[in-house]
Structure 1
Amino acid sequence: MYKQIILACDGSEHALRAAEHATYIAKFNEETNVEVVYVVDNRTAKSDIIQGQTDLETISASRKDKLKEIEVLLKKENIPYTITILHGDPGDTIVQYVNTGDIDLVIAGSRGLNTLQEMVLGSVSHKIAKRVKCPVMIIK
């Protein structure tokens, strides 16, 4: 069924719920690998430095901490996984990454933006759902 699942992750509660669903689906096939993809938003990276976090190791560690709960969940359930950290606009970067790989399913959390917020801010999950070339599961 699904051998390669991308879990789009930003370290939020929504991403943790998405990870729970990815874990559930991955249990059905021993060959399934979950690739946790975290995109460092260039705008956020700049704000880290502005806020005084200039040590690159500190910045990198804080990003990895956002993935810890998901990593613990996957390990606990014995799900094979990898973590990939990319840089760029989260929506565009995930779409490009998925469309250039051999991916069977993308799972992402939804922040639950209202229509106006989504129009003004955009939505990573919305971009993914509209633009990737494989099935997508959006978790509320």
Structure 2
Amino acid sequence: MYEKILLAVDGSENSIRATEEVIKICQASTHPVQLEITHVIQDVSNSEIVLQQVKPDNRNRDGELRIQPNEAELQNANIPYTRTIERGDAGKTIANKANNDTFDLVVIGTRGLNGLQKLVVGSVSTEVIKRANCPVLVVK
């Protein structure tokens, strides 16, 4: 089974479903699972900060809020975990973390983008699948 799992969350409904799958995996495991939950705050350019009036402190607080529902699910199931909030391009950051910290599995929810949206903005889960050296479980 898996000994070290990275759960990437973004506050979406599919992110909660991914958390529920991780809980099933952890509960079925015959040995302790080292679980890390992570959220990536997308980097924005200075022009985006000005145009959207985004304050860095608000982005940090938003990251904390996005991870809370997933943490509540894990706490309710008595699953121990650590957590991190990262900055950068979500797909690349998650894959790099999975590779550099030698995770056995990445679990991530999909946002359910349509074909045009995927073409224009790309898919975080697709990026993780392409870049991660370990299995990736995508939950929808």
Q: Which sections of structure 2, spanning at least 5 residues, go unmatched?
A: none
The 5-angstrom pairing of residues 25-36 of structure 1 reads: 25-29=25-29, 30-36=31-37
Q: TM-score w.r.t. structure 2 length?
A: 0.88
Taking a change above 3 Å as real, the CA distance of residues 45 and 12 of structure 1, as seen in their structure-2 partners, is farther
Aligned length: 139
Please name the residue that 2:38 is paired with: 37
Equivalence map 1:50-61=2 (5 Å): 51-52=52-53, 54=55, 56=57, 58-61=58-61
Deviation of residue 116 (structure 1)?
2.5
Question: Is 1:126 equivalent to 2:118 in the alignment?
Answer: no
Structure 1 stretches of 4+ moved >3 Å: 44-55
Deviations along 1:58-94, one digit per CA (max 9) or x if unpaired, are 5423321111111111011111111111110001111
Taking the aligned partners of 1:107 and 1:53, their CA distance within structure 2 comes to 29
- Alpha-carbon RMSD across the aligned residues, in angstroms, is 2.1
Partners of 1:46 and 1:80 lie apart in 2 by: 40
Whether the aligned pair in 1 keeps the contact of 2:63 and 2:85 (CA below 8 Å) is no
- TM-score after normalising by structure 1: 0.88
Does the 8 A contact of 1:7 with 1:106 survive in 2?
A: yes
Indicate how the Cα distance of structure 1 residues 47 and 31 shifts in structure 2: closer, same or farther if over 3 A, else same.
Answer: farther
Instruction: Please say if 1:63 is aligned against 2:63.
Output: yes
Q: Percent identity?
A: 37
